């Protein structure tokens, strides 16, 4: 009975996977089982579709009104008049455009492309990817324009390579009687960049500018997107009111993006597998958040705040932070509250966070992420041993009465009612709970799913070797050795379980290792390593408990015979 339920649950789960795959394909996504998306990706438009109207003089209204004043698309970012300037720290190679001092390319020097000796490109302004960082000011009077991300800037600093602990890069641009000085300070070993905007009133009248911080990205999938499993790519807004809110590009297209629009805290960001970018504005200052479609297949997340009145000759400064890099949870949490939530475990976060903490601690002891996964799996199996023991004992009892179940099936044939009545009577006599093998496993499912997402989402797995042929736990096993081991262990587990009385069920059970093992051929090696260790430990536990029960039964039979 429990085997039948297990089979039905497995078939139901696989059916859901197929339905989800069909839904993905129907909505223009790649198939989970490989192959190109049904529709081609659209190159983002580079044309400007908005002008820059004036903003009310009230500082309280300025940030709200500025949402209509920010220029739309990139405009002059890639034209012949702009220049690109490359600067480099020990972990980042950044390319700035003199058009608006935009950050138009970011290379992760410590994170090479899998299988290639070149850094992963997170930000870029090319036909393949449009994903850039922008900032600017709005609020000029009618017919004028303050410096925006389309205004020509010039680099006023001289250093382009980090020689000490910090690298300071400065750009300056002026328009409409307002000079904007952007200062980017990079720190050794850090992906957090300090950004200062100094606004100097060079005119003869008071001005009330508003500063916007913006991330602009197309809706295409990242270059390292898997065709077999789905991870989130989209925009995010964090606030103390609603915490972490994420939005897909599809939701933004449909106008269904839900997020806090007015706040004096939090951040805005763009999230993808393993990496993220985020603007962290000054905390405690009222601002407007916006997530919108700028043009065809081009989206923006922006934060706009009023700088306040600036008298002629006076200067106002706004300090903010920019993150461009991997989803390093410790560093992200240190930069801003809630920023570590870009590593999104969904509703299982309450379980996944402690699991990740334990995995990190094990890595600090063992020095290898592969062995840390092995140790973590052992610890989890040890914690759940009592539940597993109950499940295996139930399975052992079911296996012991399996010949009697087959006899009942032959006796009653197609008379399902009598067969079920006889089976339930036998369960009652033998004190067997048909669900005894399933319920203990159901309790463990949230933990196993959480561990799955921890291993899938942790950037620490990227490029991390284990042993011999496994050089990167975040990509599939190059020799498919681990998936083969997983299939073998699944077959062995099935052999240890009671044989289903229905021949069709028995055949389905033998096919399942091929189905799930075949899926694992395309999953990251770290995940398959976990399943291999988990299956091996399960086999050892089940064998031990089954033998223990058999020996106890033999001893009891021997004692009875002597009497």
Q: pLDDT tens digit string along 408-440? A: 777 777 777 877 787 777 777 766 666 555 655
Cβ count near 447 (within 10 Å): 16
**What pLDDT was estimated at residue 426?**
75
**What pLDDT was estimated at residue 284?**
94
Gap between the Cα atoms of 304 and 316, Å rounded: 16
**What pLDDT was estimated at residue 561?**
65
**What pLDDT was estimated at residue 238?**
97
pTM for this entry: 0.79
Asked if pLDDT for residue 560 goes beyond 90, the answer is no
Cβ count near 241 (within 10 Å): 11
**What pLDDT was estimated at residue 280?**
98
Percent residues over pLDDT 70 in the chain: 77
**What pLDDT was estimated at residue 327?**
96
Asked if pLDDT for residue 261 goes beyond 80, the answer is yes
Q: Which residue has the higher pLDDT, 375 or 144?
A: 375
The whole-number average pLDDT for the span 9-23 is: 48
Gap between the Cα atoms of 169 and 102, Å rounded: 12
**What pLDDT was estimated at residue 198?**
98
Residue 264 region by backbone torsions, left for phi larger than 0, else alpha for psi between -120 and 50, else beta? alpha
**End-to-end CA gap in the chain:** 35
Gap between the Cα atoms of 346 and 246, Å rounded: 11
pLDDT tens per residue across span 505-536: 666 666 777 777 777 787 888 888 988 998 89
pLDDT range class, residue 502, cuts 50, 70, 90: low
Average pLDDT along the chain: 81
Residue pair 69/55 in contact (Cβ under 8 Å)? The answer is: yes
- Highest mean pLDDT of the ranges 462-471, 487-496, 536-545: 462-471
Which of 112-116, 182-186, 395-399 has the weakest average pLDDT?
395-399
Asked if pLDDT for residue 54 goes beyond 60, the answer is no
Gap between the Cα atoms of 131 and 148, Å rounded: 17
Which of 242-251, 257-266, 469-478, 495-504 has the weakest average pLDDT?
495-504
Q: Which CATH architecture describes the domain 51-344? A: Distorted Sandwich (2.70)
Gap between the Cα atoms of 65 and 287, Å rounded: 11
**What pLDDT was estimated at residue 46?**
38
Q: What angle do CA 337, 340, 341 make, to 5 degrees?
A: 95
Asked if pLDDT for residue 48 goes beyond 90, the answer is no
**What pLDDT was estimated at residue 3?**
43
pLDDT range class, residue 542, cuts 50, 70, 90: confident
Q: Which residue has the higher pLDDT, 84 or 500?
A: 84
Residue pair 178/199 in contact (Cβ under 8 Å)? The answer is: yes
Residue 558 region by backbone torsions, left for phi larger than 0, else alpha for psi between -120 and 50, else beta? alpha
**What pLDDT was estimated at residue 497?**
66
In degrees to the nearest 10, what's the CA dihedral of 111, 113, 114, 118? -100
Scanning 27-163, the segments in alpha helix (DSSP H) are 59-65
Percent residues over pLDDT 90 in the chain: 48
Which of 114-128, 180-194, 306-320, 487-501 has the weakest average pLDDT?
487-501
**What pLDDT was estimated at residue 501?**
56
pLDDT range class, residue 64, cuts 50, 70, 90: very low
Asked if pLDDT for residue 333 goes beyond 60, the answer is yes
Which of 66-70, 103-107, 540-544 has the weakest average pLDDT?
66-70
Q: Where in the chain is the domain with CATH 2.70.98.90?
A: 51-344
pLDDT tens per residue across span 113-144: 877 889 999 999 999 999 999 999 999 887 78
The whole-number average pLDDT for the span 48-70 is: 45
The whole-number average pLDDT for the span 268-289 is: 96
Gap between the Cα atoms of 108 and 36, Å rounded: 27
Asked if pLDDT for residue 99 goes beyond 90, the answer is yes
């Amino acid at each position: 009975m429990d085997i039948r339920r297990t089979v039905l649950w497995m078939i139901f789960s696989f059916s859901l996977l197929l339905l989800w795959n069909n839904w993905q394909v129907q909505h223009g996504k790649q198939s989970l089982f490989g192959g190109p998306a049904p529709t081609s990706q659209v190159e983002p438009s580079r044309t400007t579709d908005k002008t820059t109207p004036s903003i009310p003089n009230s500082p309280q209204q300025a940030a709200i009104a500025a949402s209509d004043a920010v220029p739309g698309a990139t405009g002059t970012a890639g034209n012949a008049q702009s220049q690109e300037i490359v600067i480099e720290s020990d972990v980042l190679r950044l390319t700035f455009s003199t058009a608006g001092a935009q950050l138009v390319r970011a290379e992760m020097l410590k994170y090479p492309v899998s299988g290639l000796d070149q850094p992963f490109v997170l930000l870029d302004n090319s036909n393949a990817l449009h994903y850039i960082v922008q900032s600017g000011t709005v609020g000029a009077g009618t017919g004028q324009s303050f410096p925006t991300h389309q205004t020509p800037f010039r680099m006023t600093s001289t250093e382009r390579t980090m020689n000490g602990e910090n690298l300071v890069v400065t750009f300056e641009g002026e328009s409409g009687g307002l000079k904007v000085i952007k200062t980017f300070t990079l720190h050794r070993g850090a992906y957090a960049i300090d950004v200062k905007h100094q606004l100097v009133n060079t005119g003869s009248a008071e001005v009330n500018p508003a500063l916007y911080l913006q991330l602009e990205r197309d809706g295409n999938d990242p270059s390292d997107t898997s065709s077999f499993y789905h991870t989130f790519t989209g925009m995010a807004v964090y606030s103390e009111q609603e915490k972490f809110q994420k939005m897909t590009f599809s939701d933004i297209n449909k106008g269904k993006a839900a997020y806090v629009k007015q706040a004096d805290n939090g951040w805005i960001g763009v999230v993808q597998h393993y990496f993220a970018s985020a603007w962290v504005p000054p905390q405690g200052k009222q601002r407007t958040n916006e997530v919108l479609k700028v043009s065809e297949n081009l989206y923006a997340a922006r934060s706009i705040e009023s700088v306040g009145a600036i008298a002629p000759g006076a200067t106002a400064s706004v300090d903010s932070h920019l993150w461009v890099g991997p989803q390093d949870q410790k560093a992200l949490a240190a930069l801003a509250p809630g920023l570590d939530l870009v590593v999104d475990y969904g509703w299982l976060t309450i379980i996944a966070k402690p699991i990740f903490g334990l995995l990190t601690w094990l890595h600090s002891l063992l020095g290898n992420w592969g062995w840390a996964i092995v140790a973590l799996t052992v610890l989890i199996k040890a914690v759940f041993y009592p539940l597993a023991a109950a499940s295996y004992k139930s399975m052992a009892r079911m296996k012991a009465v399996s010949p009697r179940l087959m006899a009942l099936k032959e006796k009653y044939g197609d008379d399902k009612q009598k067969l079920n009545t006889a089976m339930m009577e036998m369960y009652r006599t033998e004190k067997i709970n048909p669900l005894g093998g399933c319920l203990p496993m159901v309790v463990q499912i949230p933990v196993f799913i959480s561990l799955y997402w921890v291993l899938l989402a942790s950037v620490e797995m990227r490029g991390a070797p284990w042993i011999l042929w496994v050089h990167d736990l975040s990509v599939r096993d190059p020799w498919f050795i681990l998936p083969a081991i997983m299939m073998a262990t699944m077959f062995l587990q099935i052999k240890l379980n009671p044989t289903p009385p229905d021949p069709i069920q028995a055949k389905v059970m033998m096919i399942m290792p091929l189905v799930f093992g075949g899926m694992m051929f395309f999953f990251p090696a770290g995940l398959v390593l976990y399943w291999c260790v988990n299956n091996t430990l399960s086999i050892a536990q089940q064998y031990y408990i089954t033998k223990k029960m058999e020996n106890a039964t033999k001893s009891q039979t021997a004692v009875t015979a002597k009497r």
